Structure 1
Amino acid sequence: MVSSKSGPRSGESRYLEYRRQDDVKTLPQHLETTKQLEAQLPLSVAYAHYVELLAQQEQVLSTAADLTAFDWALENNRFPNLNKINLTPAAHGILFKPLYPTPAFRALPYGFNYPLPRGWPAGQQDDRSPYEDWDHDGSKHKWRGFLHVPSSLARQGSTRLQELILDGNQVWSGLTCGLFHASEPCAEYDNLVSVITKPGFTTLRLSLMVCSMSSKHYLAFRNGRLKQALDTDLRSFFLETDEECSPEQVSLRSYRGLDHFVPFRSIFPIDAWKSLAHVGLSRFVVKQQDLLSFLAAMPQTLRSVELSFLWYLRGTGNYRDLLFGIRDELGWEKRPAKPRLLIRYESASMLAGRAIWLEDELNDFLYNGGENPYIDPSSPDSLADDALNPVVVRDGFGKEKDVFEPRFERPYDSPDKLIQLGILKGWDED
């Protein structure tokens, strides 16, 4: 339901207030949000505009006009400089802050408060949508853009496309991993493989919905279909999932006896990536030694690595020890171009899109004798829980950022320090 200034607040506007947390209200990003909330259209006007937009969308979907236009443009070379395609259910971002400033978003009335659509199945922070079997009746049609775009690209004899992004992790969505254990032959799988193995293709970013896949031993990663699809000389590859936590944290007894670990060499064709410059993993279950072996196999062309929101199976490592392993065992400091490392880490807010970013501090530790950003779990200063959070980041290391709010950026530090910097409200302020 669309709200008005005088009517009840919508869930979206309450969510914006929740995202503000204990910040000072006069920070620039919050002032802009407040102005839009105060400028909301009357309920009747906003609702009429919303209904009009829905009608326009329905006409496009029912006639497949967008797909027809896309095919015509490809076939007639109307995209001569097309080198990147991003399929995402997260384009609307959060209220008043779409991820992309496209003409359609710029045309929305100032202060337009509306329910945010997600183009693919999407869950919530504490209620993830389970992955769906690709063969299940009607399931694949929920990923409309993915059904069509790779198919159109695969039909082209050649394209200039270099980069394909299948996004969605910001809103707990993505492509269902069911695609990678669908019955064979699978046209959609074949089309994806055709696109990423075309000459000149370099970059794949893959967001997968895997929630509940742990109960099936992560079949989509074990059966070799993903590895086969990636068996091409990529320059950049990033895999992220919507995994909520380590399967070992699930209280169901039936989960505890399952083998949740899949070796990286079973998933990724490391030997085929002769020219890889960037590799990234996010929300994945790992063992530290297997991860180090994976990184050790990377070619000399490697320039950057991201290892974000990883869970280490109990007793197999943690981020702090991983950093020592990277520094002491991989020999990166001897390379002409030293790979840069990025780790995003869950912040205390637990908000979608918001995280601690460690980058400069990591590279200072790896190459310049800097301090390990993670506290020794045996230290009296450590608040770590061996089961849920084996190591924590030191205050004063890293930055807290938000993918939905580019102006949200602050040092990761103690509340007292953030109060002193004028970012958080004082302890005695409402």
Structure 2
Amino acid sequence: MANLHLPAQGLVIETNELLAGIPLEMFADRTQDYRNFYALLCRPDFHRLDLALLIGDCPTGGHNATQWGILGRPHLRSALERGTSLTHFSFSADVRPRDLLGSEDLIANDESWVPIQQILPVGSWPDLQQFGLSFGLSRFPVKQAELVDLLSNLPESVRWIELGFLALVLADETYAGLIDAVRYHIRWRNRPEALRPRLVILLPISFSAPMGMANRVDSEIQEFLYHGGANPFRGSRGANDVDFGVATELDAFNPGFEAAHAPDFDWKEEVQGMVSREDEFSRAAWNAMRDLRHASARLLSEVSDEEGASGEEITDEDILVRELPRHYRRRDLEF
């Protein structure tokens, strides 16, 4: 792309919430890949960058705790500073929410959190309109104060801000405190209505939910920031979550699906209920279920000796539940 003499208005690394992306080690040094990336951002007609990083177990080059230290080096920021025409930007990593948000090992030192304000030169993007698109700025451990400073420095052209699956690393930091700070310190509500950014926060439904599912907290945040509503994160489920009935459940693998946030349900019980309601299924849906049962039987026959030696009984029903495609798991989907 860097060597083509053709317009290149954007680079979108779309992972659809799968754990994939550009290897982080590309930004550890000025490699040829890095120089190509830099050249793209220098183009005057380059307007969109959706950057997904593959963190994995890449070499840390002397950073002795985690690989996040690579982001603290100057290379990524130097390239992003060249994107002066950017109007759309998103930034994510391949970290599972349960690994990032469920960890008790995050501590505030240079190796366990991402200096987000140091990395993202938002002051170099005067025409930025959307900061985060699909799952936006997501899957990073950050400090709340730095994140608030970053948001306060976004240009007034920004109309959409999306934060997702972020871990706030200090013990007293919460999503409730984050949007309190936005309301009372950044004071976007003092702007004319047409110039107010829309802040959206995405949360995991639960650590056991299928990959790609999230709760989107949207209208409740706008009510709090601009219309005197209640802070949606100050409920019975703690300052980093929202109560049932608040937020909307989304599924990256079923874009048409939206549902009110509800208590988790038992996937196995749901499948058994579906199988018992034959008259509610179309022929195509039953054919799919039949094919899946055949596939589960094949999988069962391939169970390794090690698994069999564990003494745990594994039935084809168990494998059916484990392998059932996401769009057959949703109770509200019409077949």
TM-score normalised according to structure 1 size: 0.54
- Of 383, 408, 412, the match for 2:257: 408
**Quick check: 2:12–2:51 contact (8 Å CA) kept in 1?**
yes
* Structure 2 match to 1:249: 103
Match of 1:31 in 2: none
Q: 1:221 to 1:414 in 2, by over 3 A?
A: same
- Cα deviations by residue, 1:245-299 (Å, 9 ceiling, x for unpaired): 33882669xx997731232232112221122112131011111111111111111
Q: Which residue of 1 aligns with 2:197?
A: 339
Find the aligned partners of 2:116 and 2:108 in 1 and give their Cα distance. Answer: 21
Match of 2:35 among 160, 180, 190: 190
Mapped partners of 1:338, 1:221: distance in 2: 30
Correspondence for 1:282: 138
The one-letter amino acid paired with 2:223 is D
Q: Report the CA distance between 1:335 and its aligned residue.
A: 2.1
- Give the letter for the 1:395 counterpart: F
Q: State the partner residue of 1:329.
A: 185
RMSD: 2.9
- 1:107-256 superposed matches below 5 A: 153-157=1-5, 159-168=6-15, 170-182=17-29, 184=30, 186-212=31-57, 215-216=65-66, 218-231=68-81, 232-233=83-84, 234-244=86-96, 245-246=99-100, 249=103
Q: CA deviation at 1:199?
A: 1.4
Residue of structure 1 in register with 2:114 after alignment: 262
Paired position in structure 2 for 1:120: none
1:334 Cα offset (Å): 2.0
Q: Which runs of 5+ in 1 are unaligned?
A: 1-152, 385-389, 417-422
Which residue pairs with 1:367 in the alignment? 226
Partner amino acid, structure 2, of 1:229: A
* 1:373 counterpart SS class: coil
Equivalent AA in structure 1 for residue 70 of structure 2:
A
Aligned counterpart, 2:244: 395
Following TM superposition, by how much is the alpha carbon of 1:415 offset from its aligned partner in structure 2, in angstroms?
6.5
Matches within 5 A, 1:1-80: none
Could you tell me whether the CA contact under 8 Å between 1:248 and 1:256 is conserved in 2? no
> Which whole-Å CA distance do the structure 1 matches of 2:179 and 2:271 have between them?
31
Shift of 1:167: 2.3
Question: Cα distance 1:316–1:176, how it changes in 2: closer, same or farther (>3 A)?
Answer: farther
Q: Distance in 1 between the 2:73 and 2:191 partners?
A: 35
Hey, what's the Cα distance between the residues in 2 that align with 1:226 and 1:346?
28
CA contact (8 A) 2:19 2:94 kept: yes
2: distance between equivalents of 1:247 and 1:359?
A: 20
Instruction: Please tell me the residue identity of whatever aligns with 1:246.
Output: L
Q: Which range moved further: 172-181 or 214-223?
A: 214-223
Relative to structure 1, the CA distance from residue 205 to residue 404 in structure 2 (aligned partners, 3 Å threshold; closer, same or farther) is same
SS at match of 2:92: strand
The CA deviation string for residues 63-102 of structure 1, in whole angstroms up to 9 with x for no partner, is: xxxxxxxxxxxxxxxxxxxxxxxxxxxxxxxxxxxxxxxx
What is the Cα deviation at residue 408 of structure 1? 2.5
- State the match for 1:52 in structure 2: none
Asked if structure 2 preserves the Cα contact closer than 8 Å seen for 1:246 and 1:313, the reply is no
Please list the CA deviations of residues 278-335 of structure 1 after superposition, one character each: whole Å capped at 9, or x if unmatched.
2131011111111111111111111110111010113251111111111111121122
- In structure 2, the CA distance between the partners of 1:414 and 1:219, relative to structure 1 (3 Å rule), is closer
The gaps in structure 2 that reach 5 residues or longer are 278-335
Q: Does 1:310 align with 2:166?
A: yes
- d(CA) in 2 for partners of 1:313 and 1:262? 10
What amino acid sits opposite 1:271 in the alignment? Answer: G
- Match of 2:38, as an amino acid? V
Whether the 8 Å CA contact 2:205–2:249 is kept in 1: the answer is yes
- Report the CA distance between 1:156 and its aligned residue: 2.9
Paired residues, what number?
A: 255
Deviation at 1:169, TM superposition (A): 5.5
Contact 2:69–2:110 at 8 Å: present in 1 too? no
Task: Check whether the contact 1:176–1:208 (CA below 8 A) recurs between aligned residues.
Answer: yes
Cα deviations by residue, 1:21-78 (Å, 9 ceiling, x for unpaired): xxxxxxxxxxxxxxxxxxxxxxxxxxxxxxxxxxxxxxxxxxxxxxxxxxxxxxxxxx
Higher alpha-carbon deviation: 240-249 or 275-284: 240-249
Q: 1:191 to 1:393 in 2, by over 3 A?
A: same
Report what 1:353 is aligned to.
Answer: 212
2:2 aligned counterpart, secondary structure: helix
SS in 1 for 2:44: coil
